[in-house]
Amino acid sequence: MKRNYYSLLTMLAITLGCSNLKGQTNDDVINLLINKNIIKQEDADSLRSEAAIKAQEQKEKQKSFNITAKRGIGISGYIQNRFQSLQEAGKPDANDIRRARLDFKGNVTPTWEYRLHVDMAGTPKILDAIATFKPYDQFKIQAGQFKIPLSLENNTSSNNMEVIERAQVVEALVARNRDVIGNHNGRDIGIQAFGSILKIKGSFIVDYFVAGFQGVGINTSDNNEPKDFGARIVIHPIKGLDLGASYYNGFNRFGTIVKNEIRKRVGGEITYTYNIISIRGEYIQGEDGDFENKTGYNHIEREGWYGQLSCYVIAKKLQLVGRYDTYDPDKDKSENATTNVLGGVTFFFNDWAKLQVNYTSRNESGKIINNDIIGAQLQIAF
């Protein structure tokens, strides 16, 4: 009977002469029905309780919320709290706010959009600051600060990754934590043309990205005359399968002498997703240096790859992941590579919150060191 009352509130109010319901709340309608002796107070209390429950359910399902601004704007973000237990002797366990990010996006016209993406964890910094002109799906152009078109994992947002840490080769060769130019979160300042082409049966087969950068990283003024070039292409030959290749060529001042040194990268990638299973792999080769010293010209060649398998054992709730990850920072030296074997589990509380737990077995060539890592990361998105 309660559900019948709830569904007939508006109809009853109109029948009783309240035809103009604009601005009226459920509570207003319920009070009207009480005044007309149509329902009793106890029925009204039940209706209010049911209405509150339904409103809360709708709020939890809501995907976006409006704010007041001169133009339409969307705000999203996430917080990641990370705990690490380092097995190596003398290394303390640690807990930190890994990321605390705000992402502002909007359109000023149908063909112009913007994005401002900032990280408030540690020292606050701008990650992305982009103006995009998008006249066609086949051709768009953006300028500002954004991710370089190199590597699948580099261009995967941190809040969408199946594991807590990126692969060694991505950290070392894609302007991240261990790159020769330092940690720039895989980004730089420049201009990029991109789009999707070759549409078959309603879907584009090829995505392309071609960009030029200043080559010194984020939030930094340029310090050298040469510019860097990057390109990436991703092909979707069949449903669920993505094949990609990347190329990067730059000149940077990262050595001990003030001179432009080369920084080259070549990569290949593959992703296949079928139902609850996802397979991902990536290979990147890099070359740094090529500067003149007493022995002539010198450079360092580096390479690495990873393979990853993830699977949902409970749909949208529990995911298992395994990854093999190896990296050689100098191919001319023997017993120089490091191999990580990772096993992990992710529990999704809902669409906005998840807990990731990873165990990484670290193995250095020619060494026996107990430096495995147990990591846990709680993420809340909004």
Same domain, 46 and 145: no
With cut-offs at 50, 70 and 90, classify the pLDDT of residue 27. Answer: confident
**Is residue 360 predicted with pLDDT exceeding 80?**
yes
Give the pLDDT confidence score for residue 144 in this predicted structure.
98
CATH number of the domain at 254, please. 2.40.160.10
pLDDT one-digit tens code per residue, 280-316: 999 999 999 876 555 556 789 999 999 999 999 999 9
For 86, the enclosing helix (H) or strand (E) is strand 73-86
pLDDT one-digit tens code per residue, 144-194: 999 999 999 999 999 999 999 999 999 999 999 999 999 999 999 999 999
Give the pLDDT confidence score for residue 126 in this predicted structure.
98
With cut-offs at 50, 70 and 90, classify the pLDDT of residue 33. Answer: confident
Q: 302 in a domain, yes or no? A: yes
Same domain, 53 and 169: no
**Is residue 37 predicted with pLDDT exceeding 90?**
no
Same domain, 279 and 143: yes
- Indicate the number of domains in the chain: 2
When comparing pLDDT for 364 and 60, which is higher? Answer: 364
Give the pLDDT confidence score for residue 67 in this predicted structure.
67
Domain residues for the domain of 192 are 99-315+325-337
**Is residue 329 predicted with pLDDT exceeding 90?**
yes
Same domain, 161 and 47: no
Residue 60 is encoded by which pair of tokens? 């939890």
Across 248-273, b (16+ Cβ under 10 Å) vs e yields: bbbbbebeeeeebbebbbbbbbebee
**Is residue 6 predicted with pLDDT exceeding 70?**
no
pLDDT one-digit tens code per residue, 217-244: 999 888 778 899 999 999 999 999 999 9
Same domain, 141 and 209: yes
Same domain, 170 and 121: yes
Q: 202 in a domain, yes or no? A: yes
Q: 164 in a domain, yes or no? A: yes
Q: 292 in a domain, yes or no? A: yes
> Read out DSSP for 45-65?
HHHHHHHHHHHHHHHHH----
Q: What is the pTM assigned to this prediction?
A: 0.80
When comparing pLDDT for 362 and 259, which is higher? Answer: 362
pLDDT one-digit tens code per residue, 76-123: 999 999 999 988 877 889 999 999 999 999 999 999 999 999 999 999
- Average pLDDT, rounded, for the chain: 88
> Read out DSSP for 119-169?
E-SSS-EEEEEEEEE-S-SS-EEEEEEEE-S--TTTTS-GGG-SSSS--HH
Same domain, 181 and 254: yes
Mean pLDDT of 246-274: 86
When comparing pLDDT for 341 and 251, which is higher? Answer: 341
Give the pLDDT confidence score for residue 66 in this predicted structure.
62
With cut-offs at 50, 70 and 90, classify the pLDDT of residue 2. Answer: very low
In angstroms, the CA 58 to CA 353 distance is 18
Q: Using CB atoms within 10 A of its CB, is residue 279 exposed (0-12), middle (13-18) or buried (19+)?
A: middle
Q: 183 in a domain, yes or no? A: yes
Which of these ranges, 67-81, 270-284, 326-340, has the smallest mean pLDDT? 67-81
Same domain, 16 and 140: no
**Is residue 58 predicted with pLDDT exceeding 60?**
yes
Percent with pLDDT over 70 in the chain = 87
In angstroms, the CA 166 to CA 180 distance is 17
Give the pLDDT confidence score for residue 59 in this predicted structure.
66
Give the pLDDT confidence score for residue 367 in this predicted structure.
78
